[in-house]
């Protein structure tokens, strides 16, 4: 099977497109909720609910699938990672303790690892079931 050479411009466009979509999805799912819940014992949780984060993750599967199935692995992995990292930084940077950078770093590393794994699975499945596969 012949491999396509890595083309720089389509990869960069995929990174940009997936990053913009990721930023929009963050805004839609998490960006509007800035309210922390205060419990009777004085502890705080939030601002996000579990359903919001699950919704974000599930909707991010669409752009990751789009990019990975077209062999734009850099677009899938770096686009989502850049988008989530930028959104988390912008959303959390008003924290006066400075600990928001720990969270941003965790988002960056976590999204890099998870999108890399998901992209590899998508590419593997797409390769086995793709139209280019012929029986001998």
CA distance 11 to 35: 38
- What is the DSSP code (8-state) at residue 96? T
- CA-based radius of gyration for the chain: 18
* Confidence at residue 130, expressed as pLDDT on a 0 to 100 scale: 62
Task: Please count the other Cβ atoms lying within 10 Å of the Cβ belonging to residue 10.
Answer: 15
Each residue's pLDDT, cut to its tens digit, for the chain (136 residues) gives 556 555 788 899 999 999 999 999 999 999 887 777 787 888 877 788 899 999 999 999 999 999 999 999 999 999 999 999 999 999 988 888 888 999 999 999 999 999 999 999 998 887 777 655 544 4
Burial of 36 (0-12, 13-18, 19+ CB in 10 A): exposed
Q: What is the pTM of this model?
A: 0.83
Q: Two tokens at 78? A: 């770096």
């Amino acid at each position: 099977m012949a491999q396509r050479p890595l083309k720089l411009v389509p990869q960069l466009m995929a990174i940009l497109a997936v990053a913009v979509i990721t930023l929009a999805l963050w805004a839609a799912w998490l960006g509007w909720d800035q309210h922390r819940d205060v419990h009777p014992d004085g502890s705080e949780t939030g601002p996000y609910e579990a359903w919001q984060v699950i919704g974000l993750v599930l909707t991010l599967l669409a752009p990751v699938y789009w990019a990975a199935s077209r062999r734009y692995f850099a677009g899938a992995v770096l686009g989502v990672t850049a988008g989530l990292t930028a959104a988390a930084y912008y959303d959390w940077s008003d924290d006066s303790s400075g600990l928001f950078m720990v969270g941003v770093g965790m988002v960056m590393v976590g999204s890099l690892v998870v999108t890399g794994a998901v992209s590899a699975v998508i590419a593997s499945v797409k390769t086995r079931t793709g139209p280019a596969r012929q029986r001998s």
